[in-house]
Amino acid sequence: MARDQNGYAVHYKENMRRTFLLLLVSSGFFPTLPSSGKTKNKNPYDERRLLEQNKRIQRENNAPEDFPSFVREGFQVNVVTSENYVKRDSGLIYRDYEVGKGDCPKDGQQVTFHYVGYNESGRRIDSTYLQGSPAKIRMGTKGLVPGFEEGILDMRPGGKRRIIIPPELGPPVGPSTFFSAKQFEVFDVELLSIQNCERRTIVGFYSDVVCN
Per-residue confidence (pLDDT) for residue 45, from 0 to 100: 58
Over range 93-117, report the average pLDDT. 96
Per-residue confidence (pLDDT) for residue 187, from 0 to 100: 97
Residues, the chain, total? 212
Question: Global pTM?
Answer: 0.75
What is the DSSP secondary structure assignment for residue 17, as one 8-state letter? Answer: T
| pLDDT tens, position by position, 130-185 | 999 999 999 998 888 999 999 999 999 999 999 999 998 987 765 555 555 578 99
Sequence-separated (6 or more) residues with CB below 8 Å from residue 74: 35, 37, 38, 39, 40
Selected residue with higher pLDDT from 1 and 189? 189
Check residue 167 and give left, alpha or beta (phi > 0: left; psi -120 to 50: alpha).
alpha
Over range 96-109, report the average pLDDT. 96
Selected residue with higher pLDDT from 172 and 97? 97
| Average pLDDT of the chain, as a whole number | 79
| pLDDT tens, position by position, 32-63 | 333 333 344 556 657 788 889 989 999 999 99
Per-residue confidence (pLDDT) for residue 29, from 0 to 100: 34
Q: How far apart are CA 172 and CA 195, in angstroms?
A: 28
Per-residue confidence (pLDDT) for residue 64, from 0 to 100: 94
Q: Is the pLDDT of residue 2 over 50?
A: no
Architecture of domain 83-200: Roll (3.10)
Q: Is the pLDDT of residue 20 over 50?
A: no
Q: Is the pLDDT of residue 117 over 70?
A: yes
Selected residue with higher pLDDT from 3 and 144? 144
Q: How far apart are CA 134 and CA 114, in angstroms?
A: 5
- Please give the span between the terminal C-alpha atoms of the chain, in angstroms, as a whole number: 19
Per-residue confidence (pLDDT) for residue 43, from 0 to 100: 64
Domain coordinates in residue numbering, the chain: 83-200
Q: Is the pLDDT of residue 14 over 50?
A: no
Per-residue confidence (pLDDT) for residue 36, from 0 to 100: 33
